[in-house]
Structure 1
Amino acid sequence: MIATGKAHGKLILVGEHAVVYGQPAITIPLLNLQVQATVKSAPAAYLSSDYYQGLLAQAPQDFAGIKSLVNRLEEDLKLEPTTLALQINSALPLERGLGSSAATGAAICRAFFALAQKDLSCQTLINYTNFSEEIIHGTPSGVDAATVNSKQPLYFIKNQETSPFAMNFHGYLVIIDSGIKGKTGAAVAALRLLKKEQPEFVNPRLEELGSLAQQARKLLQTDGLLELGQVFRAAQKILRELQISNQQLDQLVQGASQAGALGTKITGGGRGGCLVALASDFDQAQKIGQAVLRQGAAQVFFQDLKIYS
């Protein structure tokens, strides 16, 4: 008895953090960065991954979402009493803001439903993915769960709208892994506290991030390359003011800019994780990638935006 499930990563182009407070965000699926989960009968409930190998029950706290999701799926699907082992193979770096935890949850869900030979609706898949995300991140917006289960870019407003849309856009993204683990939950909690203490400072900036997301959707549909670079720069300025950035990330932003990036910003939770730089073509994207690697970035990924047209 064996079954597999797959899911892909995600990237927030504009709107991170503001999306938690009802502002829109623009996200794209990273179709080539995938997670595969394999579940099979075994002598013991064992977890095998790049970050932990051992008994599932003894997995560290970072795996609490996976453990709870597995337990719930076994209960809900009423699987025949047996011991199941789970193997996770992922091309997504952990805790970098690229949707690793959401993609892992979605892949596990698909694997368990395949094992149970039961149909899985899109909404049910998103619900299970959000279940594990809430355990991991506390109060996620739901944008990760939606995007790792979508093949198209999304215009997303929490509890209101999830609208796929087609892009008409050329250019490349350089996804820059800073090598520093991002802590989305901690960053969200810190911003929530700052918002409570200084609402007159925080609220207008969150609204501006939402406005930039609206602008970004129009630009992606009309090939506004240079203007999107301006949106990236404006968003990064706000994220820095909201204490989502740090010195290491700011240095990588500067390095990408000096190498010709049209705009560079944090993507995801910040305080580590990844940045995304906009380039006009692949040659420019490569130059940006080489520059930030020399500055100490751990790795880079390239994404051709024409594939979403």
Structure 2
Amino acid sequence: MKSIGMGYASGKIILMGEHSVVYGEPAIAFPFSGTGIQATIRKHKLESWIESSFFHGPLSEAPTTMRNVTILLWYLVKHFKIPEPFYLKVESSIPAERGMGSSAAVAVAITRAVFDWMEEPTTQKNVLYFVNQAEAVAHGNPSGIDATTISGTEPILYQKEIGFQPFQLNMDAYLVVADTGIKGQTRKAVRDIAKLMELRPRETAKQIKSLGRLTQQAQQAILKNQPHILGDCMNQAQGLLRLLGTSNRHLDHLIETALNHEALGAKLTGGGRGGCMIALAENETSGRQLQQILLAAGARNTWIEGLGVYAHV
């Protein structure tokens, strides 16, 4: 056992396919290094303790909203036969409930920290085993997109009947992410789309199918380094997501602002009705400018990342 264990995990972005993925269509997600979580763990003289921006105190007094973390720690303690107590510190730059995978990232960072503490090598497979235990508590029956994306290094194309297919991110463009400052409403949006499927099955199914087709076109645009085509796919997807009721005036305002300032494409990311939007910029200079413009337009925070292969090596 080392004196201190350290683990890091990035956030994640769903580029295309949110909501339609629920109905068997593909979705694209990738690790987003613009945000992340650092976890450190060491022995503690007193009882086991957690330090984070969300809760600071004894593990035994952690709120029920942190049950995914306490369950994860229970599995890790049992597996490694860790002599309690310990002191766990979690530092995060991922905004909670914004569709950037904060709960999965916490689990990945903690798992990596414990493996490092125990001087055990980590693989995506063994990290995922423990993370999936925590995600099942946090989300009931998660698709695994967040955990798989965050524990890996490549973009993935996910489809229910096919599973996860990693592919290479190779595009001369930059992605700007902007936080509306409002919590996303994923579960409500999912329920409302399900109602639309009952009330207007033919029209809604057609929109869902179109989102799936756009996701496949977006993947090809990425593989062929065609940022303008990707931007067009993003714009079309946002139009469909708006028709499905998953956008709101805050997202629409930031998306319109980005498009009015030379973004190649812009759309919501994640569950919608709050959370974050993403915009595709042709180069780093325009991306940096777009960050400032979106902040001036009311974004709570912004991040930027290159979409070339180098960004994830």
TM-score (norm 2): 0.90
Taking the aligned partners of 2:63 and 2:24, their CA distance within structure 1 comes to: 33
2:50 match: secondary structure = strand
Quote the residue 1:95 is aligned against.
97
The within-5 A match list for 1:269-280 is 269-280=271-282
2:151 match: secondary structure = coil
Taking the aligned partners of 1:254 and 1:147, their CA distance within structure 2 comes to: 29
1:31 to partner: Cα distance:
2.8
Pick closer, same or farther for the CA change 1:106–1:197 going to 2, 3 Å. Answer: farther
1:119 to partner: Cα distance:
4.2
Taking the aligned partners of 1:260 and 1:24, their CA distance within structure 2 comes to: 28
Taking the aligned partners of 1:67 and 1:242, their CA distance within structure 2 comes to: 36
The within-5 A match list for 1:166-245 is 166-245=168-247
The reply to whether residue 140 of structure 1 matches residue 149 of structure 2 is no
Return the letter of the residue paired with 1:52.
F
Return the letter of the residue paired with 2:49.
Y
Pick closer, same or farther for the CA change 1:133–1:21 going to 2, 3 Å. Answer: farther
Quote the residue 2:59 is aligned against.
56
Taking the aligned partners of 1:146 and 1:65, their CA distance within structure 2 comes to: 17
Pick closer, same or farther for the CA change 1:137–1:195 going to 2, 3 Å. Answer: farther
The reply to whether residue 47 of structure 1 matches residue 50 of structure 2 is yes
Any conservation in 2 of the 1:8–1:31 contact (CA below 8 Å)?
A: yes
Pick closer, same or farther for the CA change 1:83–1:295 going to 2, 3 Å. Answer: same
Deviations along 1:210-232, one digit per CA (max 9) or x if unpaired, are 21111111101112121111100
Taking the aligned partners of 1:193 and 1:287, their CA distance within structure 2 comes to: 40
Quote the residue 2:71 is aligned against.
68
1:95 match: secondary structure = coil
Pick closer, same or farther for the CA change 1:77–1:190 going to 2, 3 Å. Answer: farther
CA RMSD in angstroms comes to: 2.1
Any conservation in 1 of the 2:43–2:85 contact (CA below 8 Å)?
A: yes
Deviations along 1:81-100, one digit per CA (max 9) or x if unpaired, are x2122110122222211121
1:180 to partner: Cα distance:
1.0
TM-score (norm 1): 0.91
Return the letter of the residue paired with 1:219.
A
Quote the residue 1:253 is aligned against.
255
Taking the aligned partners of 2:294 and 2:34, their CA distance within structure 1 comes to: 22
Taking the aligned partners of 2:161 and 2:249, their CA distance within structure 1 comes to: 34
Taking the aligned partners of 1:155 and 1:263, their CA distance within structure 2 comes to: 20
Pick closer, same or farther for the CA change 1:243–1:140 going to 2, 3 Å. Answer: farther
Query: How many residues of Structure 1 are paired with residues of Structure 2 in the alignment?
Result: 308
Quote the residue 1:105 is aligned against.
107
Pick closer, same or farther for the CA change 1:240–1:110 going to 2, 3 Å. Answer: same
Any conservation in 2 of the 1:19–1:141 contact (CA below 8 Å)?
A: no
Quote the residue 2:11 is aligned against.
9
Any conservation in 2 of the 1:23–1:158 contact (CA below 8 Å)?
A: yes
Taking the aligned partners of 1:183 and 1:239, their CA distance within structure 2 comes to: 14
Pick closer, same or farther for the CA change 1:2–1:95 going to 2, 3 Å. Answer: same
Moved over 4 A (4+): none
Pick closer, same or farther for the CA change 1:186–1:119 going to 2, 3 Å. Answer: farther
Taking the aligned partners of 1:189 and 1:145, their CA distance within structure 2 comes to: 23
Any conservation in 1 of the 2:183–2:275 contact (CA below 8 Å)?
A: yes
Q: Which residues of structure 1 form unaligned runs of 5+?
A: none
Quote the residue 2:29 is aligned against.
27
1:87 match: secondary structure = strand
The within-5 A match list for 1:293-308 is 293-306=295-308, 307-308=310-311
Deviations along 1:93-115, one digit per CA (max 9) or x if unpaired, are 22211121111111111122233
Pick closer, same or farther for the CA change 1:200–1:261 going to 2, 3 Å. Answer: same
Return the letter of the residue paired with 1:45.
S
Deviations along 1:13-55, one digit per CA (max 9) or x if unpaired, are 1011222332211122113432111122221222111222122
Deviations along 1:173-219, one digit per CA (max 9) or x if unpaired, are 11111111224344334434444554334332222222111111110
Quote the residue 1:263 is aligned against.
265
Return the letter of the residue paired with 1:57.
S
Taking the aligned partners of 1:41 and 1:64, their CA distance within structure 2 comes to: 22
Taking the aligned partners of 1:196 and 1:66, their CA distance within structure 2 comes to: 37
Taking the aligned partners of 2:160 and 2:181, their CA distance within structure 1 comes to: 29
Any conservation in 2 of the 1:153–1:164 contact (CA below 8 Å)?
A: yes
